[in-house]
Structure 1
Amino acid sequence: MAHKTDIEIAREAKKKPIQEIGAKLGIPAEHLLPFGHDKAKVSDAFIKSLSDRPDGKLILVTAINPTPAGEGKTTTTVGLGDGLNAIGKKAAICIREASLGPCFGMKGGAAGGGYAQVVPMEDMNLHFTGDFHAITSAHNLLSAMIDNHIYWGNELGIDQRRVTWRRVMDMNDRALRQIVTSLGGVANGFPAEGGFDITVASEVMAILCLATDLKDLQRRLGDIIVAYRRDRSPVYARDLKADGAMTVLLAQAMQPNLVQTLENNPAFVHGGPFANIAHGCNSVIATRTALKLADYVVTEAGFGADLGAEKFMNIKCRKAGLAPDAVVIVATVRALKMNGGVARADLGAENVAAVRKGCANLGRHIENVKQFGVPAVVAINHFVTDTEAEIEAVKAYVAEQGSEAILCTHWANGSAGIADLARRVVELAESGAAQFAPLYPDDMPLFEKIETIAKRIYRADEVLADKKIRDQLRAWEEAGYGNLPICMAKTQYSFSTDPNLRGAPTGHSVPVREVRLSAGAGFVVVICGEIMTMPGLPRHPAAETIRFNEEGFVEGLF
């Protein structure tokens, strides 16, 4: 029988009115701001009223390094949320919103897959409730106000050569990476070099995802450093009086979005910084709200555990006072075979030796997660082509690592296929085994923090950074930013900065190309290797096949 596509399954979903989903968590209808019948924002007033309640248990879903073979991290996050509800627990999931750039590029949507999906799938992968548009607008308002300030006499004494604030849009467009603005004479201002990043790499996105309420949001927006003067002193967004208007633009976007899984369980979908160039977690406000309303909250962090989980622990948990109770590491037999050196075309054939070889990648992620003091379990996200021998090889390897691998068939069977994992996660979360601590203390010097991540998580021998970068880090320390955590921007495909180095490489170096201070978000971005903060489209972008079919349904979104 031909398998239904994700979009066909999503279209057949028996959705319930969003008020019913809210009621499952005890959210009164008047505190839901509906967007149509199947999406709503949760009111600020209701969130504030929850502060005295105890928190539920926090479960993080992360994965091995991604391959074109697919891992299914979001699918497993959604499946586990459904699985916990199916075994009688009150659970909610928290995932990120999808960016239009990769949706029309090559990554596709971000709402799960098979029978473990969040709906409405089309809306979530397109404009949803407009949060990303609000972030784009707030970011570019600040850009416009900087240029406008300089145009009208530059009272703040901004050195135009040292404007660090770029522009953003939620689309992959390599033509905009480096541009020249204000051409065309006096009326248009002073020509300058500029550029665009993708919206999900905006510091405004990171701020929205880390802010605890509107007041905190405005304070952080005001803290953004947009430029420097000739004496190298910083110019902040609040100096331009931009923070108030930016907060107004973002007020509704700050409210978490509530939707549902195919099994009508509550899902918060809010915020979406990229994990390879930003911190890769959904919003603190959504996670905290879910923890007050549910006994178990399943959330994900982008890409492999070397990026997503590391940033979740070192940035999000540190900043928000959160502590995960258990971690699920998602792997597929197919992706492990690719890590073991098998070409994509040959993944269908049984190859137990390649699975074993590729398990080195999984083993390192297990070790890394344990360094944070949190117990880990492995979810083998099942594909129909997996053989018994291959699955047994993974289970045996993980048992050697002192952990456990559980086969999950949620993609095909929904919650029934992941009940075993749900029960194990409950055991781990309730065992009190988690002794969470971030990897490095706040007061460690910035360069040492970078080295700590590179050596302990990536297993690199050294960090390569020229004098200019080291001097810049020291200057930020002297300016009072030395206690900030590090946000690494590097390829998601490898532990190293070389995307082609699969498995568990050692003996490599981490070259630092650039460092950026995100004073509002509260971290230092360290750009390593060839990573791009504005992706390009592939030769054949997904956009070529997205259209309405004869029945009037959207096709090609996946």
Structure 2
Amino acid sequence: MLTDIEIARAAARKNIAEIAARLDIGAGDILPYGHDKAKISRDFIAGLDGAPPGRLILVTAINPTPAGEGKTTTTVGLGDALNRIGKRATVCIREASLGPNFGMKGGAAGGGRAQVVPMEDMNLHFTGDFHAITSAHNLLAAMIDNHIHWGNALDIDLRRVTWRRVMDMNDRVLRDIVLGLGGPANGTPREGGFDITVASEVMAILCLASDLADLQDRLGRIIVARTRDGRPVTARALQADGAMTVLLRDALLPNLVQTLENNPALVHGGPFANIAHGCNSVIATRTALALSDYVVTEAGFGADLGAEKFLNIKCRKAGLAPSAVVLVATVRALKMNGGVAKSDLGTENVAAVRAGAVNLTRHIENLRLFGVPLVVAINHFATDTDAEIAAVSDICDGLGVRAILCRHWAEGGAGAEALAREVVRLAAEPSDFTTLYPDEMPLWDKIGTIARRIYRADHVEAPPAVRKQLDDWQADHGHLPVCMAKTQYSFSADPAALGAPSGFTLPIREVRLAAGAGFVVAICGDVMTMPGLPREPAANRIGLDADGNVEGLF
């Protein structure tokens, strides 16, 4: 059996100008990065204003397990399938972070016969967007310390600088550091630290901005510190927003690539819905909607994180409304939620499927709160048995949701045509899309609403300092939505609590204000905004073969 990378390398790719032409984008309206990837020009995107929108389809999943769920694979397979049945469809997915690629997760371009290519480029430097975001973020950090060094005219309180540095790599030793050691020439010593680039507010801003002017306005609103008398200090006050915008000028443009079946895909924006909002960029989604009948996009990790943030943050801020939601599940993942060890997943166990389906049931119940038509996609694995698949279908039937077996990993778009037809049917139905909470709800109550209605927590607790911080923000920022930073493996803050835990207490450790992006981050439990590498990182296995091809990345 061919591996994902062998399938990707064997693919007959078309020149990116041919892919652009399928969306009526002329050769002069793209900025090629080689022969198989390009950015769409700013002038072309600006000319799309008022174009009739296509239908937006969200692909989400049950909570991730080591068994795999295949959310990106299903997103790509569905996009190919919609094109196969005569619809004009574009896939919109997120870019990959180097951190997990060299850590433990691996690539983020789909798998099998449902992939986006060029796979290696996408999982490495791609078009340099993440490097630009890293540079813009760290430029602001450097300008803060430089301002303090040269007299601190803004009266910044060194104890209340909140803007950390970032890098797109897992490195736990950089979480908390001391800056400015070595004497007066090296700046003023203070505490600091690093987050991973995808957790940067600059990443969130790029994903939510509508154009360059909006980008600079949002960057200027970033709050980096407080003065000694408690007033906020912004990037605009430091005169950093203009230079940051220059660094991000090209990164703001969405990246056009193709699937293995030569259908268009826009890959743009940050992953990590556990610590960020984890959605494809607004500008990419809107561009695709103006050019397509259907746009298939994904939101990171399980629906309790990615879909909740997509619906409550991205759709709220961008004025988007999905026409249908696809919830991806696998028999293997349900068996793990039912208590089966990964080594035993190849053995039929209908009882474990039914026990683990409480996780699937919870996600179905949650997604119904948003009023959007829903279908379950059973992402097929070769070890699945007829009895196990029937058990999942029976459970979904009992909930009034159709479950469709999909074989896109092995068969490409042909293996997801039944799903594509059901999506077309659902998208034609009336949608009563609504967000989970109103803008005017207090910040603490928004956190509690998500915790109780989505996670099924009985209580939410936070230290007095966190509650006071939220109270202090309420007058000026209480209208903002909340971005929960939480383990992706469980509805709770305990990654080992699989299935559908309830009746627990959700601990809020810290809150951060992302005034430019337009949300408040609530950090739950032990989740880290700078991950570490595992005991055996994937980097140990990555290298080049004799022909210069990448080995071990996928």
| Fold match (TM-score > 0.5) | yes
For 1:483, the equivalent position in structure 2 comes to 479
Q: How does 1:102-141 map to 2 (within 5 A)?
A: 102-141=100-139
Contact 1:74–1:111 (CA under 8 A) maintained in structure 2: yes
How far 1:554 moved relative to its partner? 1.0
1:453 partnered with 2:429: no
Q: How does 1:266-285 map to 2 (within 5 A)?
A: 266-285=264-283
Structure 2: distance between partners of 1:400 and 1:128: 44
Structure 1: distance between partners of 2:460 and 2:22: 49
Contact 1:547–1:554 (CA under 8 A) maintained in structure 2: yes
For 1:242, the equivalent position in structure 2 comes to 240
Structure 2: distance between partners of 1:134 and 1:173: 19
**Cα shift readout 1:42-72 (whole Å, capped 9, x = no counterpart):** 0111001011111000000000000000000
1:444 partnered with 2:451: no
SS in 2 for 1:512: strand
1:540 partnered with 2:529: no
**Cα shift readout 1:425-477 (whole Å, capped 9, x = no counterpart):** 00000122x11010000000000000000000001101111221111111101
Q: List runs of 5+ in structure 2 lacking aligned partners.
A: none
Q: How does 1:350-365 map to 2 (within 5 A)?
A: 350-365=348-363
Of 194, 208, 211, 1:210 maps to 208
Contact 1:205–1:273 (CA under 8 A) maintained in structure 2: no
Q: List runs of 5+ in structure 1 lacking aligned partners.
A: none
Of 328, 331, 334, 1:330 maps to 328
Of 176, 179, 188, 1:178 maps to 176
For 2:197, the equivalent position in structure 1 comes to 199
Amino acid at match of 1:440: Y
Structure 2: distance between partners of 1:228 and 1:455: 33
Stretches (4+) displaced over 6 A: none
Structure 1: distance between partners of 2:421 and 2:465: 52
Of 491, 500, 503, 2:496 maps to 500
Q: How does 1:330-479 map to 2 (within 5 A)?
A: 330-432=328-430, 434-478=431-475
Contact 2:482–2:521 (CA under 8 A) maintained in structure 1: yes
Structure 2: distance between partners of 1:322 and 1:241: 32
How far 1:36 moved relative to its partner? 0.1
Contact 2:163–2:224 (CA under 8 A) maintained in structure 1: yes
Q: What TM-score does the superposition give when structure 2 sets the normalisation length?
A: 1.00
SS in 2 for 1:299: strand
Contact 2:362–2:500 (CA under 8 A) maintained in structure 1: yes
Amino acid at match of 2:89: A
**Cα shift readout 1:153-198 (whole Å, capped 9, x = no counterpart):** 0000000110000000000001100111110001001111110000
Contact 2:94–2:270 (CA under 8 A) maintained in structure 1: yes
Structure 1: distance between partners of 2:30 and 2:417: 31
Aligned-pair identity in percent equals 74
1:79 partnered with 2:87: no
1:529 partnered with 2:525: yes
1:144 partnered with 2:142: yes
SS in 1 for 2:278: coil
Q: What TM-score does the superposition give when structure 1 sets the normalisation length?
A: 0.99
1:554 partnered with 2:550: yes
Structure 2: distance between partners of 1:174 and 1:318: 34
Structure 1: distance between partners of 2:101 and 2:376: 28
**Cα shift readout 1:207-263 (whole Å, capped 9, x = no counterpart):** 000000000000000000000011111000000000000000000000000000000
Contact 1:63–1:71 (CA under 8 A) maintained in structure 2: yes
How far 1:552 moved relative to its partner? 2.5
For 2:51, the equivalent position in structure 1 comes to 53
Structure 1: distance between partners of 2:393 and 2:56: 25
Contact 2:144–2:238 (CA under 8 A) maintained in structure 1: yes
Contact 1:206–1:273 (CA under 8 A) maintained in structure 2: no
Structure 2: distance between partners of 1:339 and 1:210: 34
Structure 2: distance between partners of 1:28 and 1:437: 37
Structure 2: distance between partners of 1:318 and 1:533: 24
SS in 2 for 1:239: coil
Structure 2: distance between partners of 1:188 and 1:465: 37
How many corresponding residue pairs?
554
How far 1:33 moved relative to its partner? 0.1
**Cα shift readout 1:16-43 (whole Å, capped 9, x = no counterpart):** 0000000000111101000000000001
How far 1:105 moved relative to its partner? 0.3
SS in 1 for 2:236: helix
How far 1:550 moved relative to its partner? 2.4
Structure 2: distance between partners of 1:273 and 1:533: 13
SS in 1 for 2:137: helix
How far 1:359 moved relative to its partner? 0.6
Of 20, 23, 27, 2:21 maps to 23
Amino acid at match of 2:421: R
